[in-house]
Amino acid sequence: MAQFYRYSEEGLAEAVLLARHALAIDPAYTPAAALVGSCRWVQVVQRWKVSDDDIADCIRLARQALQAARDDADTMWQAGYTLFVLAGETAMGATFVDRALALNPNAANGWMVRGWIHALLNQPEAAIEACNRARRLSPFDPLGFLSAAALAAAHLAARRFDESIEWADRALHDQPGNAVALRIKVVACAHFGRLDEARAELDRLLAIYPGMTITGWRTNLPATSFSPEYVVLNVAGLRLAGLPE
């Protein structure tokens, strides 16, 4: 977990390696199986090195963890979110996250990913409620920048672009390399009429995603799990900021 919290390419690779060592010792150790999935979705959204085989394997591990961990909330929300993001199983993934929160209503990061699910499905008010609950439960969480980014996504979905920019800036203050928060800020600035700032942030984003295009973003994971309305909103903002088709 310490390596996962580093939120770096090297840290995520090391976290996967350690989780696999744990599974070699005990193949039934579901927290390690679920952690592999969490590492993989971070690697995907950051465009760090991850193969199709890696993704298929982590989906398999997530399913395995969900079958075995009926009373482990942390395993359940991690594996459920892996299915939502990487397998495109939006309804099933959300159901498992909800089960995790029923088991443990104090699972702060379970609420954080529930907030992401609501935001990406264009349900901004529910997303804001879930993320605020996550932040109340764990105000100094090492993954707090992800709940801030989720709030940025939620306010973007609600077309409250100024608040979206504010939350994206909070996320980027804590984790400057967070590509998702950067993309949200680009889109929100563009829609808010701050085109010079949108273009400057797009340059930062392209340093992380060299060769990024609108078509590529729309067709790659995890955008295929987003609601059509949220995709259209992002595409319009990216286009305004000058991202090539």
Tens-digit pLDDT profile for residues 117-137: 999 999 999 999 999 999 999
| Residue 123 φ/ψ region, left for φ over 0, alpha for ψ in the -120 to 50 degree band, beta for the rest | beta
Q: Which fold has domain 132-245?
A: 1.25.40
Task: Spell out the domain ranges in the chain.
Answer: 1-105, 132-245
Neighbour-count burial of 24, counting CB atoms closer than 10 A to its CB (0-12 exposed, 13-18 middle, 19+ buried): exposed
- The pLDDT of residue 4: 96
d(CA 81, CA 226): 13
Instruction: Output 116 or 49, whichever has higher pLDDT.
Output: 116
Confidence of residue 52 (pLDDT cuts 50, 70, 90): very high
d(CA 117, CA 130): 10
Whether the pLDDT of residue 146 is over 90: the answer is yes
Of 99-103, 154-158, 208-212, least confident by mean pLDDT is: 208-212
Q: Which fold has domain 1-105?
A: 1.25.40
Instruction: Assess contact for 65 and 75: CB atoms under 8 A.
Output: yes
* Rounded mean pLDDT, 18-40: 96
Mean pLDDT score of the chain: 95
* Rounded mean pLDDT, 80-107: 95
Confidence of residue 181 (pLDDT cuts 50, 70, 90): very high
Instruction: Assess contact for 51 and 213: CB atoms under 8 A.
Output: no
Domain 1-105 shares a fold with domain 132-245: yes
Tens digits of per-residue pLDDT, 191-244?
A: 999 999 999 999 999 998 899 999 999 888 777 789 999 999 999 999 999 999
